[in-house]
Amino acid sequence: MVSVNLCADQFALMLAAPGQLVSVTHVAADPHVSVMAAAARGLHLNRAQAEEVHALAPDLVLAGPWTSAYTVSLLRRLGIAVTVIPDVRTLDDVPDALRATGTALGREADAEAMAASFTADLDTLRAAARDAPGPRAVLHNPGNYTSGTGSMADQILTLAGLSNVAAEAGIAGGGWLALESMVMLAPDMVIGAEPYPGASRAEEVLRHPAARALAGPGRRALLADSDWVCGTPHVLRAAAHLRHAVERAP
């Protein structure tokens, strides 16, 4: 079994029996984007290219919906079975992705158990979140990228007891919110991303004086990309982390 997509990698690493998974993508071993980095470290790391995957002679390849269609069709022509793990766009898609991975790996029971536990945790968090109208928060990602209504990030904010300012600005799904528009919306909290090593201009905006002035002490939270780059059950960890930050906020 070989996985060629970061999200499929993480689902497979959660569900596969020891020895069942031979190779995952190299990014799956990067703790900045992968919650399963530790588990990936012993495995062969691929770069999602048909030639190297073929050389591993897998029985099945797990791909994502965004995996190059050309690579997928090439693998199929080479006689290798490819299963595409469905995209997780909202929290409610997580159990389906788990089940799809479980079926592909022949680990249906484990997948079902994990899905059930996720759903239960989600229900608990939702029940807890409904009580009070929370502070208004904005997701401020590198390059002023944010997430509005209908996105998983928006759901996570809701779970954490926050109200999404990007939704007020009329952003649906992902989108860009100019820094000055963000300042004018005057959110109570700014939720940023943990910085990557090296430097980039996209991340520099997170340290812009205006963004800093907006989020005074205690009104700023950082989220690790790894917790929600993919919709794994770990997204609930991000929600819990955020709720904790909200509770501590002045």
Contacting positions for another protein (CB under 8 A): 142-144, 175-181, 183-184, 186, 196-205, 208-210, 213-214
Q: Of 135 and 142, which has the nearer Cβ to another protein?
A: 142
- Shortest spacing between CB 204 and another protein, in angstroms: 8
Residue 163 in 3-state DSSP? strand
Q: Of 27 and 53, which has the nearer Cβ to another protein?
A: 27
- Residue 221 bridge partners (DSSP): 191
Spatial CB neighbours of 93, under 8 Å, sequence gap ≥ 6:
86, 87, 231
Q: Of 31 and 86, which has the nearer Cβ to another protein?
A: 31
Q: Of 76 and 212, which has the nearer Cβ to another protein?
A: 212
- Shortest spacing between CB 183 and another protein, in angstroms: 5
- Shortest spacing between CB 196 and another protein, in angstroms: 5
- Shortest spacing between CB 1 and another protein, in angstroms: 27
- Shortest spacing between CB 13 and another protein, in angstroms: 21
- Shortest spacing between CB 3 and another protein, in angstroms: 20
Q: Of 41 and 207, which has the nearer Cβ to another protein?
A: 207
Could you tell me which of 37, 39, 78 has the C-alpha nearest to residue 61? Answer: 78
Structure tokens at 32: 């900045």
Spatial CB neighbours of 30, under 8 Å, sequence gap ≥ 6:
37
The DSSP line for 171-227 is -BSEEE--HHHHHHH--SEEEEEPPPSS--HHHHGGG-HHHHHHS-TTSEEEE-HHH
The DSSP line for 25-80 is EGGGG-TTT-TTHHHHTTSEEE-S-HHHHHHT--SEEEE-TTS-HHHHHHHHHTT-
Q: Of 18 and 170, which has the nearer Cβ to another protein?
A: 170
